[in-house]
């Protein structure tokens, strides 16, 4: 589509730029400012340059939290994206059950995040929770509050429960937009189900899947409330992700300088991942 | 219509069960009193009670908190849509200096972890006297709802052929008339989807809402956590509150349900 070139268009984006500048740029600059200072209290502060950055990058707790974060984010993406597509393919396109199913899918997205944590905390308890009791009754010992592996599995199960719907709703919307002649053409060519999926559906789903992957990547990287409620980062540090570590530093210990340096590095990493994904997708677009 | 695919149907059925079980557990907890929940394991509540709901409906703190939450979610949704609609329109219709960079820069704000902004937000809103008002929380939530709105709307708007704009011009319609009476109504679905996402992300967020509220503007998600600690973890009331917080969301989904699917379907989102 041909779009004319006009710098008057800036008038249209000006409100957005102003709102975002206020709610993002000012706070971000404050963080950057803190990150190069040693702040004892708000009246005595010293410029320390990049000291906090060096310290953070060499901090084994940061590196561990970062590795856990990567493990968590890529695991949930690897489950939620294919599962979401499969669920969307299973949804009937036009049936009287469709609206009800869509609403059911949307429900986990609409529950406040601390409630999500609470539900799973109670649901998975090995003494009084439906899931915990059921698993133990099958003869498998399961205690998420004392076993790191179980805590991990519970967190992943919770995130899949919480967010797969988002992928499914997006994928369903993408599937509904495929015109019927595409399927008829594929049927004439004798394509099997896998080929229909691979060559007809998947290319048309590309746009919504990009949104789904980016949103899940960003949000899983920021996850805080749910693990905070469910496991509190434990047992030990085994489920302490980046946001949690950061909140402990900034609020719990009032280490503003290091916390700010941590924030900047954290933000840059998310930026890097999303940029890599975004440009690799866009490059393929242009080819 | 492609043939129903047995495998996907099974996935759907199993997934729905997986979705429903924790929800069922939330509901049973809401219907039991606290000592019952903590003391015994029951698949079906033996003595269901509405006491938890009664407690919430008889306590003005919950009403206020509910009102506060609705206020900032509404402000946030309105502000997001108001600023995002013109921006998305020009992104979809014009090229201009730095458009691609600006678009990606907007997206980067959606990526900023809220935990990073807790302290600066607190200081910023305290210094301009907005701390503990719904407006502060609404503006803070704009951090992630505005970029998302621009992103979603741009996808939809780009799917509307530019010839529509040209035809309206040839027909002699002034731009405001075209935009308000032709362009936006065509994009109802897009607006519905965006509204849903703004509502959703603002309604469920806890961290920023907690940081930016004192005693006056306390949102419902925060009241929940405090009730828990004050009365020694009353799981029943918490679960009942959890059930109630889902209701506004379901109402929103119900209203936009047709747009939700049609809206996404129209979008050429890339």
pLDDT of residue A100: 84
Instruction: Provide the pLDDT for residue A212.
Output: 86
Closest-CA residue to B157 (of B178, B188, B181): B188
Per DSSP, A46 falls in state: E
Q: Is the ipTM of this complex over 0.90?
A: no
On the 0-12 / 13-18 / 19+ scale of CB atoms within 10 A, B76 is buried
Residue A3 has pLDDT above 80, yes or no: no
Chain B residues lying within 8 Å of A176, measured CB to CB = 261-262, 264-265
Q: Which residue has the higher pLDDT, A41 or B123?
A: B123
Q: Which of residues 26-65 of B touch A (CB under 8 A)?
A: 26, 29, 37-41, 43
Q: Residue B265 pLDDT more than 80?
A: no
Shortest distance between the Cα of B231 and any Cα of chain A, in A, equals 16
| B1-16 pLDDT, tens digit each | 444 567 888 889 999 9
Q: How far is CA A161 from CA A164, A166, B130, B132, in A?
A: 6, 10, 36, 33
B19 in a structural domain: no
The average pLDDT across B145-164 equals 85
- The answer to the question of residue B32 being in a domain is no
Residues of A in contact with B66 (CB under 8 A): none
Compute the nearest-CA separation of B226 from chain A (Å). Answer: 12
A243/B106 touch (CB, cutoff 8 Å), yes or no: no
Q: How confident is the model at residue B232 (pLDDT cuts 50, 70, 90)?
A: low
pLDDT digits (tens, 9 = 90+) for A180-221: 888 888 888 888 888 888 888 888 788 778 888 888 988 898
Mutation site for B-interface testing, chosen from A24, A94, A222, A275 by largest number of B Cβ within 10 Å: A24
pLDDT at residue B268, rounded to an integer: 44
Residue B125 maps to which CATH number? 1.10.3720.10
Looking at residue B264, its pLDDT comes to 54
pLDDT of B154 reads 85
Classify residue B44 by burial, with Cβ atoms within 10 Å: 0-12, 13-18, 19+.
exposed
Q: Is residue B24 part of a domain?
A: no
The count of structural domains within chain B is 1
- Report the candidate in A165, A232, A240 with the shortest Cα–Cα distance to residue B196: A165
What pLDDT sits at residue A79?
95
Which position has the higher pLDDT, A118 or A252? A118
DSSP B90-151: HHHH-B-TTHHHHHHHHHHHHHS-HHHHHHHHHHHHHHTT-TTSHHHHHHHHHHHHHHHHHH
Give the pLDDT score at A2.
Answer: 65
Q: Which residues of A touch B15 (CB under 8 A)?
A: 83, 87, 90, 164
Look at phi and psi of residue A236 and say left if phi exceeds 0, alpha if psi is from -120 to 50, else beta: left
Measured in angstroms, the CA of B101 and the nearest CA of chain A are apart by: 12
Alpha carbons A105 and A88: distance in angstroms, whole number: 10
Among the residue ranges A221-225, A279-283, B92-96, the one predicted with the least confidence is A279-283
Range of the structural domain that residue B111 is part of: 51-266
| Option in A9, A114, A207 nearest B224 (CB) | A114
Across the interface, whether the CB atoms of B264 and A13 are under 8 A apart is answered no
Res. B250: pLDDT tops 60: yes
Contacts of B181 by beta carbon, 8 Å cutoff, 6+ apart: B173
Q: Which has the closest alpha carbon to B211: B106, B130, B108?
A: B130
pLDDT, position B2: 45
Q: What is the pLDDT of residue B76?
A: 94
* Mean confidence (pLDDT) of chain A: 84
Measure the CA–CA gap between A259 and A269, rounded to whole angstroms. Answer: 15
Q: Where are the alpha helices (DSSP H) in chain B?
A: 6-30, 34-39, 51-57, 60-93, 99-111, 114-127, 134-158, 163-170, 175-177, 184-186, 188-203, 207-211, 220-230, 235-266
Question: Which residues in chain A have Cβ-Cβ distances shorter than 8 Å to B25?
Answer: 119, 122-123, 129-131
DSSP string, A121-176: HHHT-TTT-HHHHHHHHTT----TTT-HHHHHHHHHHHHHHHHHHHHHHHHHHHHH
Q: In the numeric block, which tokens belong to residue B257?
A: 């349900």
The residue-averaged pLDDT of B23-44 equals: 83
Averaged pLDDT for residues A268-282 = 80
- Say what the pLDDT of residue A76 is: 95
Reply yes or no on whether the pLDDT at B249 is more than 70: yes
pLDDT for residue B267? 46
In a domain, B11, yes or no: no
Higher pLDDT, B118 or A116: A116
Which of B16, B43, B78, B116 is best to mutate for the A interface (most A CBs within 10 A)? B116
**pTM for this model (two decimals):** 0.86
Choice among A212-216, B43-47, B102-106, B165-169 with the minimum mean pLDDT: B43-47
Looking at the predicted structure, is the pLDDT value of residue A91 above 90? Answer: no
**Domains of chain A with CATH codes:** 61-254 (1.10.3720.10)
Taking contacts as CB-CB distances below 8 angstroms, the residues of chain A near B14 are none
Instruction: Kindly list the residues from chain A whose CB atom is less than 8 angstroms away from the CB atom of residue B239.
Output: 118-119, 122
Residue B184 lies in a domain: yes
Q: What gap in Å lies between CA A98 and CA B240, rounded to an integer?
A: 28
Could you tell me which chain A residue has the CA closest to the CA of B85?
A: A12
* CB of B251 less than 8 A from some CB of A: no
> Which residues in chain B have their CB less than 8 angstroms from residue A170's CB?
264
Smallest Cα distance from B121 to chain A, Å: 6
**Maximum distance among all Cα pairs of chain B, rounded to whole angstroms:** 74
Closest CA to B245 of B47, B94, B23, B37: B23
Q: What are φ and ψ of residue A125, in 5° steps?
A: -65, 135
Contacts of A98 (CB under 8 A, 6+ apart): A91, A92
pLDDT at A81: 94
Which chain B residue has its CA at the smallest distance from A30's CA? B120
Q: Which residues pair with A47 in a beta bridge?
A: A37
Mark yes or no for CB contact A90/B12 under 8 Å: yes
Q: In whole numbers, what is the pLDDT of chain B averaged over residues?
A: 82
Residues 6 or more apart whose Cβ sits within 8 Å of residue B78:
none
| Segment A122-167, tens digit of pLDDT | 898 888 888 888 888 888 888 888 888 889 999 999 999 999 998 9
Which of B96, B235, B242 is facing A10, going by the closest CB pair?
Answer: B96
Give me the pLDDT at residue A285, please.
63
Q: Which residues of A touch B86 (CB under 8 A)?
A: 12-13, 15-16
User: A42 pLDDT exceeds 90?
Assistant: no
């Amino acid at each position: 589509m041909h779009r004319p070139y006009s710098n008057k268009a800036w008038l249209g984006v000006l409100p957005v730029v102003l709102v975002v500048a206020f709610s993002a740029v000012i706070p971000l600059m404050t963080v950057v400012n803190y990150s190069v200072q040693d702040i004892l209290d708000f009246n005595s502060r010293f410029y320390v340059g990049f000291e906090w950055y060096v310290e953070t990058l060499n901090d084994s707790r940061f590196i561990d939290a970062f590795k856990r974060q990567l493990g968590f984010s890529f695991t949930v993406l690897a489950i939620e994206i294919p599962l979401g597509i499969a669920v969307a393919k299973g949804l009937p396109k036009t049936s009287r059950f469709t609206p009800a199913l869509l609403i059911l899918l949307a429900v986990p997205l609409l529950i406040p995040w601390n409630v999500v944590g609470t539900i799973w905390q109670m649901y998975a308890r090995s003494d009084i929770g439906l899931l915990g009791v059921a698993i133990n009754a099958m003869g498998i010992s399961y205690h998420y509050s004392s076993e790191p592996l179980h805590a991990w599995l519970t967190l992943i199960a919770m995130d899949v429960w919480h967010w797969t719907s988002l992928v499914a709703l997006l994928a369903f919307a993408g599937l509904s937009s495929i015109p019927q002649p595409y399927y008829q053409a594929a049927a004439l060519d004798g394509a099997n189900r896998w080929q229909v999926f691979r060559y007809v559906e998947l290319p048309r789903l590309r746009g919504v899947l990009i949104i789904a992957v980016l949103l899940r990547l960003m949000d899983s990287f920021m996850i805080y409330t749910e693990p905070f409620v469910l496991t509190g980062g434990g047992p030990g540090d085994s489920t302490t992700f980046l946001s949690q570590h950061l909140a402990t530093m900034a609020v719990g210990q009032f280490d503003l300088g290091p916390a700010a340096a941590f924030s900047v590095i954290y933000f840059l990493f998310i930026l890097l991942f999303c940029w890599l994904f975004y440009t690799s997708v866009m490059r393929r677009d242009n080819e | 219509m492609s043939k129903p695919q047995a495998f996907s149907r099974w996935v759907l059925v199993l997934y729905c069960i997986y979705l429903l079980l924790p929800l069922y557990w939330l509901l049973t907890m809401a219907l039991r009193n606290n000592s019952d929940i903590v003391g015994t394991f029951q698949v079906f509540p033996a003595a269901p009670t509405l006491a938890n709901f009664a407690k919430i409906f008889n306590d003005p703190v919950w009403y206020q908190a509910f009102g506060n939450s609705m206020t900032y979610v509404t402000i946030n949704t309105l502000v997001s849509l108001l600023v995002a609609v013109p921006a998305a329109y020009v992104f979809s219709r014009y090229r201009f200096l730095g458009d691609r960079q600006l678009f990606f820069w907007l997206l980067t704000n959606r990526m900023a972890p809220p935990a990073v902004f807790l302290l600066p937000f607190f200081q910023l809103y305290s210094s301009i006297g907005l701390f503990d008002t719904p407006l502060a929380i609404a503006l803070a939530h704009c951090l992630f709802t505005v970029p998302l709105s621009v992103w979603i709307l741009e996808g939809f708007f780009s799917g509307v052929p530019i010839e529509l704009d040209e035809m309206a011009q040839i027909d002699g319609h002034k731009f405001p008339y075209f935009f308000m009476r032709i362009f936006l109504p065509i994009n109802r679905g897009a607006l519905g989807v965006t509204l849903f996402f703004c509502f959703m992300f603002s309604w469920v967020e806890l961290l920023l809402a907690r940081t930016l509220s004192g005693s006056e503007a306390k949102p419902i998600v925060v009241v929940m956590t405090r009730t828990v600690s004050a009365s020694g973890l009353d799981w029943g009331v918490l679960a009942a509150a959890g059930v109630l917080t889902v209701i506004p969301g379901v109402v929103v989904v119900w209203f936009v349900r047709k747009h939700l699917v049609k809206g996404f379907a129209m979008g050429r989102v890339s």
